[in-house]
Amino acid sequence: MRYLGNKESIRAEIEKLLDSKQLLRQGYSFFDAFCGSGSVADYLKSYYDIIINDNLTWSVTYTRGRVCAPNCTFQRLGFDPFAYLNKNKQTMHGFMYQNYAPTKSERMYFTPENAGRIDYFRYQIEQWKQAGQLTEDEYCFLLASLIESVSDVSNTAGVYGAFLKKWDARAVKEISFHPVDFCNTPVRTIQTYNTKIETVIEQVDCDILYLDPPYTQNQYGTQYHLLETLVLDDHPAISTVTGSRSTAPMRSDWSKAYKANILFDRVLAKTRAKYIILSYNNDGFMSKEYIEAAMKRYGKPETYVCKKIPYKRYQNWKSQKGKKHFEYLFFVEKRDMDKVVYESPLNYIGSKAKVVPDLIQYRPKGYTTFIDAFGGGFNVGINMPAARTVYNDVNYLVTSLIRSFRDYDTYEYLLYVRRMIKKFGLEKANADAYIRARDSYNSRPVKKRDPRLLFTILLYGFQQQIRFNSQHDFNNPVGMRWFNDRVLEKMISFSRQIKEGNFEFYSKNYKALHARITPGTFAYFDPPYQLTTGAYNDGKRGFEGWSETQEAELFAFLDQLHGAGIPFMLSYVIEHKGRVNQNLLRWIKRGHYRVIRLGEILGISGSRRKEVLIVNY
């Protein structure tokens, strides 16, 4: 049958990719999560136990019919159903005849004669099923064959969103009931799901996950409504023009910009599969860059593959000079979820994103609460395993910004950012537009400033840094960066993680957290470094600075935690550019604390610093 996005042309490439990874193994399970017309599942069924899913009932039925066709013997029925249905000339004036032929309606999907035959075929198949004369596989095989036969005489351009106003030559042919095409290899086992993949992904136990989601605004429920009605046989209320049933239950958020990105992140995070394959098109909502960033976050980067496959596509005179079209085939081996590191979408000075695995490795055992006392961009707290995590930063504007990723729906947040970019004309290095947006943010009372607008502005600021003046106005100058797809991926994955965890947010001096540091707490401190103070916390911008006095107070506070038996970790710098922090060394020696050297760390401005972890356990 004619099917949008059919993968017949690339299924050999999928097989070749799986073979190159030595994954063509019997005993593995293959989950075709958007099975569509079943071309991939049917092609690979000789290698795997097959699991299929689709939001559309007809797609699941059609795919199961193709996959299971070699298993169908019709022993209960006792005769060849194809010969039987083609031999007689019975018709019925049922739902198809009344609604999709120019009989009681003006719709021209089928000739009256063919519509009457379709009603008869559907009725007879159901009668056999109700009488117990068909197995479930045989039932699906006959329905799949009916769909295929209907496709051969439909008066459409290939989909069922509308009918042609004149009879196509093939539509006036007499319908013949014939078997659906299938690969003649018996399938060992098959499981079926009929739902949205994002709602069931956590339940499906599989080895290989294959994703072939919609990539344009085309809603398959709209384009194939007639087939859904044919399979369900439920005589629904229909629209007056196209005859479509209600498509609301069949609508897919994968056909919406940003929602596709959000759902892709969720599926990658939640799947039990060890290997993930994605078919996607360069016309799709998700960019190659976004897909790569997401797959490398949840997968082992060294296993990542992206293969570009050119293909021919119908082009009219308007699109002949357009961009070339490619089908991408992506692959990655998923990493264990406890090895996944989330990155803050904020490009924060002193970010610990690159050393998070070290911090996790050296954490103590047995704690339930984690306190990130100088939370900043929250790269540490978002990743540190804990039943409860406390975020704190003395800069309440930063705290509000981090909390906004939890409090706002991610899709609505992204739409807001897109509106603000369009409203102010924000783009890379456009100083005028940037200043207009920055002035708009600063013109509002401090307590009423929208953190989403702050996030939008800082994406276009110098090195995307966070900097305020003494009046707490954002004053970072314009930069050469923008809201690119790698930032988008960070924001989506970070936002999902922060929504799913148990996080508390505060904006206090770290000493005010003392009452919350109780037995079972692990406290982490990442203060400004005495030798490398950043502009945003130098004490000249309306927030607390960092001097030897503040440093001594922190050391005393940590000594108190040590005396109370609370494990702590301090990220700090002992030496930088030839200078050595002697006060730090004396404090370490006096407390008999352990120093873990992390080596040289590259900062966001290109500077290097030799960081250490100081722990009391």
Q: How far is CA 428 from the centre of its chain?
A: 27
pLDDT of 139 > 70? The answer is: yes
The more confident residue out of 186 and 516 is 186
Give all strands (DSSP E) within 425-583, no chain letters: 503-506, 521-525, 568-573, 575-576, 579-580
Q: Confidence class of residue 470 from pLDDT cuts 50, 70 and 90?
A: confident
Question: How far are the Cα atoms of 400, 469, 507, 561 from residue 512, in angstroms, in the given order?
Answer: 18, 25, 10, 13
Please give the Cα distance from 353 to 379 (Å, whole number).
5
Please give the Cα distance from 570 to 524 (Å, whole number).
6
Please give the Cα distance from 350 to 611 (Å, whole number).
10
Query: pTM, whole model, 2 decimals?
Result: 0.93
pLDDT tens readout for residues 500-528: 999 999 999 999 998 889 999 999 999 99
Domains of the chain with CATH codes: 11-333 (3.40.50.150), 353-615 (3.40.50.150)
Please give the Cα distance from 291 to 280 (Å, whole number).
9
pLDDT of 532 > 50? The answer is: yes
Q: Confidence class of residue 319 from pLDDT cuts 50, 70 and 90?
A: very low
Q: What is the mean pLDDT of residues 155-160?
A: 95
Confidence (pLDDT) at 607: 55
pLDDT of 312 > 90? The answer is: no
Confidence (pLDDT) at 581: 93
Locate 131 and state its tokens.
């009488």
